Amino acid sequence: MFHLVQSLYDSWNAREEYSVLILGLDNAGKTTLLEEVKSQYITSYKKLPPSRILPTMGQNVATIKVNKVNLKFWDVGGQDTLRELWDEYYEKAHAIVFVIDSCDKDRLVECSNALTKIVTNDLAEGLPILMLANKQDLDSPDKMELADIKEIFNPIAANLNARDSRVLPVSAITGDGVKDSIDWLHVRLIRNKANRPPKFRMLSVASTVQQFRSLFIQTQETPNENALKFIPNGATILPSPKTPTVEIDGIKDALQKSELAFKLLSINNKCISSILLGYGFMTVVKKTAREMGNGKVEEWSVLKPQIFSILTEHLTMGRPILTEKYYDYLADKLAAQKQKEVDDEAAIEEEEIEGEEDAEDEVENLIQELLTTRIQPAIQEDGGDIKFIKYDADSGTVYLKLIGACKSCSSSEVTLKNGIEEMLKYYIDEVKAVKQVIEDASSSDAQPPQQQHQEPPSKHDEYDEVPPTL
């Protein structure tokens, strides 16, 4: 009976939720548009003045309620280096809003190419696309009228097959056209629900009173008593599962990489040693008695409320996690990684045809594959991560760097030797030893963490014996 009642309660209180991507070139007005949407649909929200709105360096997320359904907007950075990340969002999206700067004729071809790339992506198939001609309120000699913009973008929309699309005028500053845009989206999302079913978000009493996106942060203990893992349900820390984890050691490092980390590293007499940012988690490592100097180590009972407060405020306000400079660095790395994977696959095919292959490269590829597919997931579950530094073919030694909760953990050497080393030696005969690389915090300030590589699946997938586990 209880389960029946629970099921009925869930069905009565579940609300459909649709994810809408806000895309477009940088400076098109995407974030300003989202601020205006929030101010019109969230009663208690006070929008930021235009002078305080910064270019999106990662993603801004906000949820509004429209006729008993939730629309969850994802404002994603539009800089050239960040557009490679758009592909990561299409699969779970329900619609796309593409914002066009009506007063920027010089970038019209670039804008058209970006939209074409979206509509021809297989992952975006079946998504309604709303093209918004923004800045229609401006009195500029360069402003293009709606008819001119339609003439340019309607041929692209013609490639959308049966997918809904439309071009509408809007002003993110004055709010003109915002309601018409949301109404159009709402109708198309409902119409397209058979093709892209919505998620169902459970309602609580609090969420019916306050229309902010609910954010629940849970903590998870790690093998390191000085490290705690924070997992925000309903939000992500880094923009993509493929984005490598980011370690921040010290205030100087935080200034280069993350405003959020800077805030956390500044609390309680700077008692936080380092921060590790992952896609769905954040690990906070506090200083030991020796690092504090005075022998006093802050208790988690004191630190957790402050960390909760800072993290919750940062995420609910849609503040960027990473600085623009460091985000550009990661985006460049991700683009280079994708290109490397393509080049590697082509090289492997060519080597197979010619019957030649560099043995050292093959070993290094196998090492990185094992780290990515078998070792990293287990270590990240414990709030840490591992970075591949290099492989010395002469000695058969693999050099790795442990970060996050693993770095100062008393059992890290055991994990390295009994877990990682044994697994690598079991699968790869050429590996003879694994050594940990320990770097000073100053070195990480000067050099961003090394990018991890994801290689094509190995041919060695099946084994007769049971392999070691972490």
Q: Which of 92, 25, 442, 99 is nearest to 240 (CA)?
A: 92
Distance CA 261, CA 282 (A): 10
pLDDT digit string (tens) for 172-211? 999 999 999 999 999 999 999 888 898 876 444 333 333 3
d(CA 173, CA 184): 20
Tell me the torsion sign for CA atoms 357, 363, 364, 370.
positive
Predicted local confidence at residue 323, as pLDDT? 87
Q: Measured at the alpha carbon of residue 278, what is the angle toward residues 277 and 282, in degrees to the nearest 5?
A: 55
- What span, in angstroms and rounded, lies between the C-alpha atoms of 169 and 186? 17
Q: What local confidence, expressed as pLDDT, does residue 111 receive? A: 92
Q: What is the pLDDT of residues 352-399, one digit of tens each?
A: 555 445 677 788 888 888 888 888 888 888 888 888 889 998 999 999
Task: Please tell me the total number of residues recorded for the chain in this structure.
Answer: 470
Cα–Cα dist 437/429, whole Å: 22
Q: Among all chains, which residue has been given the structure tokens 């995420």?
A: 315
> Where does the chain hold its CATH 3.40.50.300 domain(s)?
11-201
Sign of the torsion angle spanned by Cα atoms 403, 405, 406, 410 = positive
What distance, in Å, lies between the first and last C-alpha atoms of the chain?
42
pLDDT band at 60; cut points 50, 70, 90: confident
Domain with CATH 3.30.1370.70 in the chain: 216-316
Confidence band (pLDDT; 50, 70, 90) for 32?
very high
- Distance in angstroms (rounded) separating the CA atoms of residues 154 and 131: 10
Residue 457 confidence (pLDDT) above 50: no
Task: Name the CATH code of domain 11-201 (choices 3.40.50.150, 3.20.10.10, 3.50.30.60, 3.40.50.300).
Answer: 3.40.50.300
Work out the average pLDDT over 442-466: 40
Residues 6 or more apart whose CB falls under 8 angstroms from that of 269 comprise none
Q: Does domain 216-316 sit in CATH 3.30.750.210?
A: no
pLDDT of residue 215: 66
What distance in Å separates the CA atoms of residue 19 and residue 189, rounded to the nearest whole number?
10
HSE at residue 95, side-chain half, CA atoms within 13 A, is 27
Residues forming the annotated binding site for GTP?
24-31, 78, 134-137
DSSP state of 373: I
pLDDT tens digits, 94-137: 999 999 999 998 998 999 999 999 988 999 888 999 999 999 88
* 159: confidence class by pLDDT, cuts 50, 70, 90: low
How many beta carbons lie within 10 A of that of residue 359, not counting itself? 9
CA-wise closest residue to 415 among 286, 219, 222: 222
pTM of structure = 0.49
pLDDT band at 6 (very low <50, low <70, confident <90, very high): very low
Binding residues for Mg(2+): 31, 56
Tell me the three state secondary structure of residue 213: coil
Would you list which residues are annotated within the binding site? 24-31, 56, 78, 134-137
* DSSP for 281-323, written as a single string: -EEEEEPPHHHHSSS----HHHHHHHHHHHHHHHHHTT--SS-
